[in-house]
Structure 1
Amino acid sequence: MQAAVKKIGIGIGADAEKVINSACRVNLPCEIVCYCRTGTAKVPSGHPRVRLAESTTPESALVADLMAGTIDVAVRGTLPANATLQALKGAAGVDHLERIALLETAGGKKFLFAPVGIDEGWTVADKLALIKKGRAIARRIGLPEKVGVLSGGRFGDVGRHPRVDRSMADAELVAKLGDAVHYEILIEDAIESCGLIIAPDGISGNLIFRTLALLGAGHGHGAPVVNIDRIFVDTSRAQPDYTNALLLAASLLE
C-alpha cells in the first residue's frame, strides 16, 4: 500500500506572495496547505502540491487542523504571533510554549539555540529539558549533538556580582547534569563545535536571537515548539522567505 502524502500547513497573514513563493519554490514530496483569509492569496498554475485553505480565522484553522491530524506539521508563516500562539496554547492545553530556534550566522554556520522567549528556560530543570529535546532535533537535522551552555561571565569574574555568580553556578550544574560543556560567556567558542547552545536565561536568549537575525546579518529559520505533542514551527514575519522553515518542518516528520 502506498504511504499517504504528508501535509505541511503554513499560515498567511501579511506578505501572502512571500509565503506562496516559498511554498512553490521548496522541493519537498509533501502537500503544502497555505492557510489564509478568503480572497487574499492565489497559487500560480503549475504547482499541484500547493493549495489554499481559506478561512475568516486562518490562525485558528491552522491550529485546529494540526491538532486534528488533518495536517502533519504546521509553520506559522506570516500569521500574527499573539493570535496564533494563543490558539496553539489553548488547543494543546499548555500555559506557555517552549521553542528551540534554528539559527544561521552571517558566515553560514547553522546551530540550534534556546531559550528564545523571555518566559522560557529560567531554571536548571528548564534548561535540562531543552537540552534533551534539542539533542533529538539536532539528530534529525544533521547537526552535532554537542551542547554548549552559556553563563553571564568568565570564571575570573566570580565575585563581581551575585547574579553573575548564580548564572555561572547554574551553568556548571546544567553542563554536569546535561552532559554538556560550560563555555562561560564565550558564545564565539561554543559555535565552533556545538549543534545546540543554551543561553543563560530567556531575556539574554531573546536578545542574542534578535541581534543575530535582525542586526547581525544572520538568519532565523524557525523555532519548533517542544512542549506540545504536535509539530509546530514558529517563525518571524521578518524572515525573507520560508523555504528553510518548510524544510525544517519536513525534516521533523522523518
Structure 2
Amino acid sequence: MKTIAIGIGKNKNIKQAIDIFTDEHNVNIKLIQTDSELVEAILDDEIDAVVRGSLAASGVIKEVKKHFPDISRATYVNGDDHEFLLTPVGIDEGTTVEEKLKIAINCGEFLKKLKKEPKIAILADGRKGDYGRSERISKSIDESEELTRLIKEKTDFNVENYYILIEQALKEDCNVIIAPDGIIGNIIFRTLILVDSWPSCGAITFGINGIYIDTSRDQSVEGYLRSLKFAYSLAKL
C-alpha cells in the first residue's frame, strides 16, 4: 500500500478531497500539520509521495534546498484541450538562462518518462520585433534566443522560441511552456488556474529523491483531488 503525506491548512477543500480520494483508492494518508513536518515527510524514504495541500509552507522549498540545492518546479496543466508543464512558477525561480535550461531539461526528461515527446516553447517579454523598446525587453529577447540555442545544442527535444506569443504556443500543442521568469510564470498560473479554472495537478518538484507536489493554498476540491491522483500515479511508477 502506498503512503501519501498531505498538508492540512486552513482551506477546508483539502479535507473533502482526501475523503473522496480515500473512498476511491486503497492508500495510506498521513496528515501533515506544519511546515517542518512537511519537510520531514519529503525527506522520509518511507513515504511514497508528499502533497503540500493547503499549508502556507513558505519555508518548505528553502529548507528542502539545504538537502537538494538544485530543485525546480513545473505546474502540470491537464485539461481536455491542453496538457503541458508550465515553468518556472516560483517567484524567485528562473532568474538566469542557466537555471531555465536546467528546468527545461528536467521537464523534457520527465515527459519522456511518461512516454510523451517534449515540445518546448520558450517565451520572452516581447515579440522579436520589439527589440530595443526597452533594456528589459531586449535582455529578455536575448535570453530567450540563447536558451533556445542551448536546448537545441544539449538535447534532442523539439524547441521553438515563441517570444511573447503564448497563445500560439498553446495552439500548436507545446507541452512545456518556459516563462521569461518565475514572476511571469506565477502570474500565468494564477490567470489560467485560479481565475479561468484550467485544471492543474499542482507543481511537480524536480531534483529531489522523492515525489513532492506543490499546490496552491487557494485550490478547489477538484484541484486538490487532481494533485492527490497525480502523486499516487507517480508513486506507482
TM-score by length of structure 1 reads 0.79
Pairing 1:73–2:52 present: no
Counterpart mapping for 1:7-156 below 5 A: 7-14=3-10, 15=12, 17-27=15-25, 31-36=27-32, 57-90=33-66, 92=67, 94=69, 98-104=72-78, 108-141=81-114, 143-156=116-129
- Cα distance between partner residues in 2 of 1:178 and 1:26: 41
| Residue pair 1:144, 1:194 contacting (<8 A) in 2 also | no
| Residue pair 2:18, 2:225 contacting (<8 A) in 1 also | no
Deviations 1:91-111 (A, max 9, x none): x354x8521111246x64121
Counterpart mapping for 1:210-249 below 5 A: 210-241=190-221, 242-249=224-231
- Cα distance between partner residues in 2 of 1:142 and 1:12: 33
Alpha-carbon shift at residue 77 of structure 1 (Å) = 1.0
- Specify the alignment match of 1:40 in structure 2: none
| Residue pair 2:82, 2:173 contacting (<8 A) in 1 also | no
Moved over 3 A (4+): 83-90, 140-144
Describe the SS at the equivalent of 1:207: helix
Alpha-carbon shift at residue 115 of structure 1 (Å) = 0.4
Give aligned-pair identity as a percent: 36
| Residue pair 1:128, 1:178 contacting (<8 A) in 2 also | yes
Alpha-carbon shift at residue 204 of structure 1 (Å) = 1.0
Change (3 A) 1:22 1:236: farther
| Residue pair 1:150, 1:197 contacting (<8 A) in 2 also | yes
- Specify the alignment match of 2:156 in structure 1: none
- Cα distance between partner residues in 2 of 1:214 and 1:66: 26
* Structure 2 unaligned residues grouped into runs of 5+: 153-158
- Give the residue type in structure 2 aligned to 1:190: A
Deviation larger for 226-235 or 136-145: 136-145
Deviations 1:211-243 (A, max 9, x none): 111222323321012132222110112211222
Larger RCO (CA within 8 A; separation ≥ 6): 2
Describe the SS at the equivalent of 2:187: helix
Aligned Cα RMSD in Å? 2.3
Deviations 1:182-209 (A, max 9, x none): 0111101111321111001111111111
More helix as a share of residues: 2
Structure whose CA Rg is larger: 1
TM-score by length of structure 2 reads 0.84
- Give the residue type in structure 2 aligned to 1:227: G
